[in-house]
Amino acid sequence: MSNTEQKPFIATHPGELIKDELKARGLTQKRLAEMTGLKASVISETITGKRAVSLNMAVALEKALGIPADMWMNLQTQYNLDTAFLAERENQRETIPVTIPVRDRNLLKEIVRKFGWACIL
């Protein structure tokens, strides 16, 4: 991801959009399962973000909802990329030198131990 691109704050799973679409159309998960020929458990797991939108599901959603399969696949790919970016960002640790005047060195050592700070005494 280049510096000019927007960086995600959160990753939105395509299941959220399926859920919104069902609500907008007044459909239940069970009804969508019937319309797509997918198991209700697959629909449920996708809506809750426990399962990715597969190619087969994307095609089934296109037939049932009229939303193109490539859109579902693009949403899943973007979710995967955003999730990877957020995980990488979470793993990066920034180092900031700080000087803390402390009379009690034992207290400073305890703070360092508790919070995992590096300390040069």
CA-to-CA dists, residue 18 to 23, 51, 117, 119, angstroms: 9, 13, 44, 50
pTM of this structure: 0.69
User: Does the pLDDT value for residue 107 go beyond 60?
Assistant: yes
Task: Enumerate residues 6+ apart whose C-beta is below 8 A from 11.
Answer: 79, 82, 83, 86
Q: How far is CA 50 from the centre of its chain?
A: 11
Q: Which domains does the chain have, with CATH numbers?
A: 14-91 (1.10.260.40)
CA pair distance 21, 62, nearest whole angstrom:
12
Per-residue pLDDT of 43-99, as tens digits, reads 999 999 999 999 999 999 999 999 999 999 999 999 999 998 888 877 766 666 666
Q: How far is CA 46 from the centre of its chain?
A: 13
pLDDT at residue number 11: 87
* pLDDT more than 70, % of the chain: 80
